[in-house]
Structure 1
């Protein structure tokens, strides 16, 4: 990776908080965290956006949008990190997460599957989207605010994932994922 990242011993403010959060959670600082710490204000703004989105849709729908977008983009970073988050939040079981990695979304509810599909479409063909795409979310039971927030969640994942991919940020092993699940998620990234 060509980007020089802030050393842990001199990191200050939000960058130091980012590092401390990773260390407390997994015992080390992820490469993607170190890269985002180069512009901690941008990371802080991203996190503020996520905090504004999640209350209307909940963690399960947020993770469905995030994982759907990450799989469509081919982001190993976000598939691994959010796969772990989905397991920890009981959004998916280990079997459901491995199935998801194989393009089987049945671990999600029917309404969440609609979100996964919507997020994937947004990630690969946003210009081709029509009211029919939004109608699928409405038919799944989502209201206007939730549809907007699902769209923002998927778009935010595109921003974050594509930045990591463009900067060739390496991916590490993610504690809390068994090797088979991690391998399936890496394979899903392409």
Structure 2
């Protein structure tokens, strides 16, 4: 465990036993974001599953034919609907970089007005899968077709969002707090929109 990662920040599980998979996971975090993320301490118990999950996420995103911006719309909308502060901060920041902070904050708050029709359809589909997948209807699928997605891409979109929901569920259920670095890097508008979930690590209210 990194010296600056205290047990309350990383969640409810005891530290995972050292393993090559856990070392790869932690090294990947350090290379990508400069530190080991709190949620990765839980996934260190299942590093092979983490690798398989993200490999499948990549395959689903590729099959859906979505751009990086569109992935940001999907994940930000789903994460906020699920009240997951980790992915909301991370992907809200990425979406802000692809659009602007105000647009990213609007998506996190459930307001799709700044989005174009295609991105609006993606955000709405993501939220529907979080809130009640049994409530979708043929009109919802047709809206995606009208936005330019064929049925194979719609299936891939649905898989991508469902996998993101699974990832968020594990992180939240096992008690990891959002990294302070995620919060500090996020634009002010994004920080202001993420008012849900577990408190940010290292902040007084935590």
**TM score, norm. by length of structure 2:** 0.80
1:159 aligned residue (161, 166, 187): 166
Q: How far apart, in 1, do the equivalents of 2:71 and 2:159 lie?
A: 10
> Tell me, which stretches of 5 or more residues in structure 2 are unaligned?
1-10, 199-206
* Pair 1:60-2:72 in alignment: no
Equivalent position of 1:4 in the other structure:
14
1:19 aligned residue (9, 23, 26): 26
Q: How far apart, in 2, do the equivalents of 1:32 and 1:11 lie?
A: 17
CA contact (8 A) 2:104 2:190 kept: yes
Deviation digits for residues 99-147 of structure 1 (CA, Å, limit 9, x no counterpart): 2233222343210111110110111111111211111111111112221
Equivalent position of 1:136 in the other structure:
143
Q: How far apart, in 2, do the equivalents of 1:52 and 1:113 lie?
A: 23
Q: How far apart, in 2, do the equivalents of 1:145 and 1:5 lie?
A: 41
SS at match of 1:57: coil
* Pair 1:183-2:192 in alignment: yes
SS at match of 2:14: coil
1:100 aligned residue (107, 125, 129): 107
CA contact (8 A) 1:18 1:37 kept: yes
Q: CA RMSD in A?
A: 2.0
Deviant stretches of 4+, over 4 Å: none
User: Are the structure 2 counterparts of residues 20 and 188 from structure 1 closer, same or farther at C-alpha, using a change threshold of 3 Å?
Assistant: same
SS at match of 2:36: coil
User: Are the structure 2 counterparts of residues 111 and 171 from structure 1 closer, same or farther at C-alpha, using a change threshold of 3 Å?
Assistant: same
> Tell me, which stretches of 5 or more residues in structure 1 are unaligned?
none
Deviation of residue 85 (structure 1)? 2.7
CA contact (8 A) 2:77 2:110 kept: no
Q: How far apart, in 1, do the equivalents of 2:152 and 2:74 lie?
A: 15
Equivalent position of 1:81 in the other structure:
90
* Pair 1:70-2:96 in alignment: no
Equivalent position of 1:127 in the other structure:
134
Q: How far apart, in 1, do the equivalents of 2:197 and 2:110 lie?
A: 11
CA contact (8 A) 1:79 1:189 kept: no
